Structure formats: structure tokens, C-alpha cells
Amino acid sequence: MHRLLALLAALLFAPMAVAQTFPDQRGPHVNDYADILSDEAEARIAAELDATLRDHGAQVTIVTLTELRFYTNDLAIADYARGLFDDWQLGQADGSTAILLLILRDDQEMHIRLGEAYDSDWNMTAARVVGEVITPRFAEGDFEAGINDGSIAIRDRIVIPFTTPDSAPPADAADTEGGIGIGPVLGGLGVIIAALFGWGRYRAAKRASEPCPACGATGLQRDRVVVEPATDTTEGRGEARVTCPACGHVTVRSYAIAKTGATPATGGKAGNGGATGKW
């Protein structure tokens, strides 16, 4: 009887299990799966984040995806970001100082997930970075500026104060885990504009309708291939390839890959802190 009850319970609660998948990590700093960064911008931001790791010992990782529904069936962005952080084991095992910036292009939503070394006092700081720096740029359709300025703000407002002895978060710090806080209120105008015009979806639709230069068909497939891996002393080389599935035409553009520099620690876990925003 007990075995039968256990079997019935398993069948009853199986549909409630949350399925989720995580993409493979391409690099320690920038993983642009939504293809919203130019090759030049990606290389520049990766170099800046590598310098942050080298100078301050904290890894900042940026991940862009198209829509969350392709990776999980029942998780909010904050929960998925935490799972991704742990799956990639960002930062050191004993109190991770790593920070994950997850961007969902077509969902028009983003989340900063802090490593377990940060206590709740840093949540408001993260929320202000989201609302004052990143989402206003995204609302204007400028993803590159938002990611670039956001990575700098994360370094200047969170990483440097946290890793500097006797430093502390701003006096207005408060626990806003999973929320937007006062920052997005200050950036509310940008959020309203984004809601009206949907820049993220517009850009995605425009790219999807781009015709093949050879046959005119749409539905081009984009991929990036590492041709020469970067080292700590030399830049690497990659190729951005656009392939037409209709006629097989391939357009190739080379780009530089930043020097690897410092090697990130592994084994880290996400903490309970972070902030979510929409545009």
C-alpha cells in the first residue's frame, strides 16, 4: 500500500516539477546569445570586465537571451538567474563576489544577481544600477550603451566599494530583493516609452526580416566561431557568420577577441540578493 501511495504521489506532483535548461558558457564575461552586441562592443566590454576581475578580484558576467520561455516553463527571471549563476559556478567557492547580469531581449526584462558574499544591503545599489543606468538606455533601444554603462556602474557602485576595505553601500541601502526599488521609479518615463513602442521586439523583428544578399530569402542564421583563441598575452580572432538556409550563402566578418587576462575562480554560488527591472 505504501509503495502504491508513493507512486501515486510521484505521478501527481511530477507535472509540477520546474524544467529548466541553461546555455553553455562561451566566456567568463560576455555571453551574447541574443546577438544584441556588435563584435567591437563585445570585445570592448569583455576587456573592461577582465580588468575588473584582474584589479578587484570580482567576476562580472553578462548573459543575453531572447525569451525565458525557451529555457524554463515556470520560473521568474530572478529564480532562473540564480539557477544559471549556480550552474556556471561563477566566482570563488568560499563566498562568491561574482555578479551576473541577465538580459531577456524580447521579454524586455533583466536581472542582476549578486554572489553569496553580498548581504541584503547591496540590493538597493543593484536596483539603482538597473533603474538609473541600464533600463533608460534599453528603453531608447540602445542595448550596447546600456550594457556598457551598466557594467561600469556595477564596477564603480558595487564591486569597488565592496572590495575596498572599510567601505559600505550607500546610506539609502535597503532590502529590495526581486524588486525594482526606487531606481526604476526615477527611470519610469523610459519604462513607459519602452512599453508603448517595444524596442526590443522591433529590433528582433527587423533582424529576422533581413533578406539574404544572394537570394532574398529571410530567416538568416547567425553564429560566432572562435578561429584563434585568445591568450593572456595575445588577442584571439573570431568570425561572425550569417548563413542563408535557403541558398547556403555565407557572409563572414572577422572580429577580435580580448586577451584572457585574469582567470576567474570557479565553484561559486549565488546569494539571495539582486534586482529586477523592465523596459
Cα-flanking dihedrals φ and ψ of residue 102, to 5°? -105, 130
Polymer length in residues for the chain: 279
- Same-domain status, 102 and 180: yes
Separation of alpha carbons 234 and 232, rounded Å: 6
Residues 133 and 241 in one domain: no
Please tell me the distance from the alpha carbon of residue 222 to that of residue 267, in angstroms, as a whole number: 32
Phi, psi of 275 (to 5 degrees): -155, 145
Least confident of 1-15, 27-41, 157-171: 1-15
Kindly state whether residue 14 falls inside one of the protein's structural domains: no
Q: Do the domain assignments include residue 27?
A: yes
pLDDT per residue as tens digits for the range 108-149: 999 999 999 998 989 999 999 999 999 999 999 999 999 999
Is residue 268 one of the residues assigned to a domain? no
pLDDT band at 18 (very low <50, low <70, confident <90, very high): low
Pairing relationship of beta strands 221-228 and 250-257 according to DSSP bridges: unpaired
What is the phi/psi pair of residue 251, to 5°? Answer: -105, 130
For 260-276, letters b (16+ CB in 10 Å) and e give bbbebbeebbbbbbbbb
Global pTM value: 0.70
Residues in a beta bridge with 20: 72
Residues 63 and 166 grouped into a single domain: yes
Specify the amino acid at residue 167. S
- What is the H or E stretch that residue 87 is in? helix 77-88
**Residues 250 and 137 occupy one common structural domain:** no
Q: Are residues 41 and 155 in the same domain?
A: yes
Q: How many domains does the chain have?
A: 2
Rounded percentage of the chain residues whose pLDDT exceeds 90: 53
Task: Indicate if 135 and 241 belong to the same structural domain.
Answer: no
- The parent domain of residue 48 ranges over 19-208
**279 domain residue, yes or no:** no
Is residue 132 in some structural domain? Answer: yes
Q: What are the beta bridge partners of residue 64?
A: 32, 103
